[in-house]
Homo-oligomer: A and B are copies of this chain.
Amino acid sequence: MQQFLEDAKNANKIISTLSGDIKNKVLNKMANALVENKDYIISQNLKDIEAGQRAQLSSALMDRLLLSDERIQSMATAIREIASLKDPVGRVLDGWVTEIGLNIQKTSIPIGVIGIIYESRPNVTSDTAALCFKSGNVCVLKGGKEAEFSNKAIAKVLREVLISNNLPVNAISLLPDSSREGVANLIKQDKYVDLIIPRGGEALIKFVSENATVPVVKHDKGLCHTYIDKGANPQMAIDISINAKCQRPGVCNAMETLLIHKDIASKILPPLYEAFIEENTQLLGCDKTREFLDIKKATEDDFNTEYLENILSIKTVNNIDEAIEHIAKFGSGHSECIISENYGAVNEFLDKVDAACVYANASTRFTDGGAFGFGAEVGISTNKLHARGPMGINDLTTYKFKIFGQGQIR
């Protein structure tokens, strides 16, 4: 492990100072290499598929695991898109000349060595490797066990491109010991590793947060609310609510709790109920809500639950303050929305609610790098520091101050 991390650190010295031009050429070669080696990758993927069948993985999981010609083409396209992004390294973020003539330049630089722990699809391996390479970072990847052969094959193809371009092969590597102990070891290596990004279930995030000495950018849960203000446009309120809950219930930016102002509840709740029934969504409500709808009671536990499925808790509130308080108590700081045509209510909500993304009159489902126009998905941070909310490739950089003097002393 020590030697492995020293190799990563050494690779960092070369990778961090590559010009944008070279990085882009290499990325495009990586994209080509994935396509050229697709038969090899698919043959290795087959081993994961067979192991998955033996382990009787769910069909959803099997679908995420499966690689095809088309999916490998998409992976290549994603890398080419990353190549086409503006270089995140070397941006002058700020600059000034001090009174005694020191010329100070605050310049973006790569973070260094980034450990990324993920569970999902094999394409995350190539996406993440490309994002780190483009931003001048070395990546240590730890993918899910169920995709082991696929991830190894993808990393092998990418690493061969590094070798044939005389670049350090360890700029992209898989964590050699992918056990829980291996991860526990990695997240304490602050001498070598500059950042850990865990993407996965609550147990993984908790384990990493509690045990890491390396800084962590978390991708934690999203317990998102939509608040229908008394000043809401009723049809918009229904459309956004249905979209936020039902368009893709299993993701972190989907709505889990609907809050509604008492003055508009009688008008909106009945048609909203009809619309949710049509979407096969189960509704739970507070006592006040149940005066309008014949649904089961929502408990404190329900308001505290990220369902990630077709279940919705509803609470009728007396005023906007009660909505904001409910969100402060139960929200996870991810994405929160107000639906209102009232100028003051919108401003109050957007100012007072503490979350990465606060929406007026749009679905919380827009919280992701693609919808924000970042062009590549690094993830969605639930940290308050370093990066918050949808992460663009610029969030894979830090900065240094360059100071140009002419002999100044104190």
* In the complex, chain B residues whose CB is within 8 Å of the CB of A350: 402
Please tell me if A354 contacts chain B, counting CB pairs below 8 Å. yes
* In the complex, chain B residues whose CB is within 8 Å of the CB of A389: 400-401
Chain B residue, CB-CB nearest to A112: B384
Bound: A247/B408 CA distance, A = 13
Please tell me if A109 contacts chain B, counting CB pairs below 8 Å. yes
Q: Given A384-B398, A385-B215, are A406 and B98 neighbors across the interface (CB < 8 Å)?
A: no
Please tell me if A257 contacts chain B, counting CB pairs below 8 Å. no
Bound: A139/B244 CA distance, A = 37
A403 CB to closest chain B CB (Å) equals 5
- A407 contacts which of B190, B247, B361 (Cβ < 8 Å)? B361
Please tell me if A344 contacts chain B, counting CB pairs below 8 Å. no
- What is the size category of the interface that chain A forms with chain B? 35 or more
A90-114: which residues lie under 8 A (CB-CB) from chain B? 96, 98-99, 102, 104, 109, 111-112
- A352 contacts which of B17, B102, B233 (Cβ < 8 Å)? B17
Please tell me if A355 contacts chain B, counting CB pairs below 8 Å. yes
Do B405 and A362 have beta carbons less than 8 Å apart? yes
Chain A facing B: main interface SS: mixed
Chain B residue, CB-CB nearest to A350: B402
- A404 contacts which of B233, B244, B360, B402 (Cβ < 8 Å)? B360
Contact with B along A261-300 (1 / 0, CB 8 A): 0000000000000000000000000000000000000000
Bound: A299/B198 CA distance, A = 41
Bound: A247/B215 CA distance, A = 34
Do A386 and B388 have beta carbons less than 8 Å apart? no
A238 CB to closest chain B CB (Å) equals 11
Do A215 and B213 have beta carbons less than 8 Å apart? no
Bound: A109/B358 CA distance, A = 13
Bound: A405/B239 CA distance, A = 13
* In the complex, chain B residues whose CB is within 8 Å of the CB of A361: 404-408
* In the complex, chain B residues whose CB is within 8 Å of the CB of A386: 385-386
* In the complex, chain B residues whose CB is within 8 Å of the CB of A213: 209-210
Please tell me if A357 contacts chain B, counting CB pairs below 8 Å. yes
Bound: A358/B401 CA distance, A = 6
**Residue among A242, A243, A399, A403 with the most chain B CB within 10 A?**
A403
A97 CB to closest chain B CB (Å) equals 9
Do B354 and A239 have beta carbons less than 8 Å apart? no
Do A360 and B400 have beta carbons less than 8 Å apart? no
* In the complex, chain B residues whose CB is within 8 Å of the CB of A215: 215, 383-385
Please tell me if A356 contacts chain B, counting CB pairs below 8 Å. yes
Please tell me if A371 contacts chain B, counting CB pairs below 8 Å. yes
A205-219: which residues lie under 8 A (CB-CB) from chain B? 209-210, 213, 215, 217
Q: Given A350-B402, A409-B240, are A371 and B247 neighbors across the interface (CB < 8 Å)?
A: no
23 A-B pairs whose Cβ atoms sit less than 8 Å apart in the complex: A13-B352, A215-B215, A239-B407, A240-B407, A242-B409, A243-B409, A244-B409, A248-B410, A350-B402, A354-B400, A355-B400, A358-B400, A362-B404, A362-B407, A363-B405, A363-B409, A366-B410, A371-B410, A385-B385, A385-B386, A388-B400, A388-B401, A389-B401
Other 9 A-B pairs with CB < 8 A, given A111-B384, A366-B410, A385-B398: A96-B373, A98-B371, A190-B209, A242-B409, A247-B409, A360-B403, A362-B404, A365-B410, A388-B401
Ordered nearest first, which 3 A-B pairs have the shortest CB separation? Answer: A362-B405, A243-B409, A385-B386
A interface residues with partner B (beta carbon < 8 Å): 13, 16-17, 96, 98-99, 102, 104, 109, 111-112, 190, 194-195, 209-210, 213, 215, 217, 233, 236, 239-240, 242-244, 247-248, 328, 346, 350-352, 354-363, 365-366, 371-373, 383-386, 388-390, 398-410
